[in-house]
Amino acid sequence: MESITKIAQTTYPMNIVIAHFNTHWVDNPGGVEKSTCQLANALRERGHKVTILYRDGREGPPYFPLDESIPVDNILFENGKKVISDKLPPLYRMAREIARIFGQNYAQGINAEYKGKQYGGEAIKRRLAYIHPDIIVSTSIPSTEYILMNAGYTGPLVTMIHSHPEVQFPPLSKSELKAAALSSTMQILLPSGIPTAKQYFPNLPIKVIGNSVEIPEYTPHRDPRHPIITSVGTFSTGKNQRLLVAAFRLLADHFPDWTLELWGFVNKGYAQDVKKDIVAAKLEDRILLKGRTEHVLEDSYSRSDIFATTSLAEGFGLSAAEAMAAGIPAVGLSNCHGISDLIQNGKNGFLTDTSAESVAEALAKLMSNDALRKSMGAYAKESMKQYSPVRIYDQWESLLMSLVKGTDKQIL
């Protein structure tokens, strides 16, 4: 495994706060939480002081590994007792639902205004006065608003954007847009987000830093007699697994040795529709719902021959990136940012339109050609090296240090 430590990168250690004021933190297996823990661990390993401030209705550890030396503080609690509610009062909730009729922007505005006063005016301000950070990394635009507009913080701050700007920015309220524009820099995950980011924030420096992706060194244990297509993601309309099931149904008779494994948390709603589709196709023994795993490389990627996703929207497409880093060619939708940024059509996988026939055609090209799978898989692994942890955290450390020094003037 590649070390994330870089010697003598900085002239002195920074005092960094990562502010995660999203809805859930404790034991939450989300992408934002994973990125937060990984960034905190990497910066701590490089010798910086890191504190995570979060809000949640309960106290507890994150789902992902976190260095024990990193302080973690829930702003809603004092001495183990909850002193600030994480819920809006009834009148505000009623106003929010009425506002939602006129647009999500208005509803988010009510959320931001009240919760900002609830959290930022006292709880956040007091903690920042005690920590006295050199710089803050905010994991969301609402977090940025609470810090800048309500807590009155005036130091350097980076706002992280975890969804694609085309998805995340249109519903923002006026107050959230105003707060985000006051950031020192906005970090986005992929170059395709730059035009939208500049449209909304024309005067704000935009920095592209992707998610970190481990490039594993391992021995695949694929069974050539029983090849596997794998897909990883929580079952939902956004992940769109029903389309993948429909595509595999078109291929099942032509490729009788292949199976499709669907990994991810199986909820009670959309997953039941997926199950119904599988039963209707009489493919219960060929399309398998595998559940959630904490060891996706060992349980899935090391056994799989193709990665497929029919997700409609991704901030980065981390599952696809991890599979490709493991040497697996990928198939995804061409209109899905976060997937189309990663898959180079015809080189490390295939991009398709949103029809089952198009997805099936791309899968068939790989299923029928072992040599193509191997060559595309090798290219996929090479193409993911740009997201190796040492490269990604070099970029983060350089950005933060330049802002602390006041030298970051670049605008993309």
- Residue 379 backbone phi and psi in degrees, to 5: -70, -35
Across the range 184-199, mean pLDDT stands at 96
Question: pLDDT grade, residue 98 (50/70/90)?
Answer: low
Tokens 């997937």 label which residue?
339
Residue 279 has pLDDT above 60, yes or no: yes
> Lowest mean pLDDT: which of 5-19, 60-74, 314-328, 371-385?
5-19
Any residues with CB less than 8 A from the CB of 163 and at least 6 apart, and which? 313, 315
Across the range 283-291, mean pLDDT stands at 96
Residue 367 has pLDDT above 90, yes or no: yes
Residue 50 has pLDDT above 60, yes or no: yes
What pLDDT shows up at residue 23? 83
Q: Which domains does the chain have, with CATH numbers?
A: 15-212+388-405 (3.40.50.2000), 228-387 (3.40.50.2000)
What does the pLDDT look like over 117-155, one tens digit per residue? 677 678 999 999 999 999 999 999 999 999 999 999 999
Residue 246 has pLDDT above 70, yes or no: yes
Residue 60 has pLDDT above 70, yes or no: yes
Residue 368 has pLDDT above 60, yes or no: yes
Residue 250 has pLDDT above 70, yes or no: yes
What pLDDT shows up at residue 103? 63
What pLDDT shows up at residue 219? 82
- Average pLDDT, whole number, for the chain? 90
Across the range 370-387, mean pLDDT stands at 97
Residue 48 has pLDDT above 60, yes or no: yes
What pLDDT shows up at residue 30? 83
What pLDDT shows up at residue 29? 83
What pLDDT shows up at residue 122? 85
What pLDDT shows up at residue 6? 46
What does the pLDDT look like over 72-97, one tens digit per residue? 999 999 999 998 877 766 665 665 66
What pLDDT shows up at residue 69? 97
What pLDDT shows up at residue 268? 80
What pLDDT shows up at residue 2? 47
Across the range 212-239, mean pLDDT stands at 92
What does the pLDDT look like over 353-364, one tens digit per residue? 999 999 999 999
- Residue 262 backbone phi and psi in degrees, to 5: -110, 110
Q: What gap in Å lies between CA 46 and CA 394, rounded to an integer?
A: 10
Residue 1 has pLDDT above 50, yes or no: no
Residue 53 has pLDDT above 90, yes or no: yes
Residue 172 has pLDDT above 70, yes or no: yes
Q: What is the pTM of this model?
A: 0.85
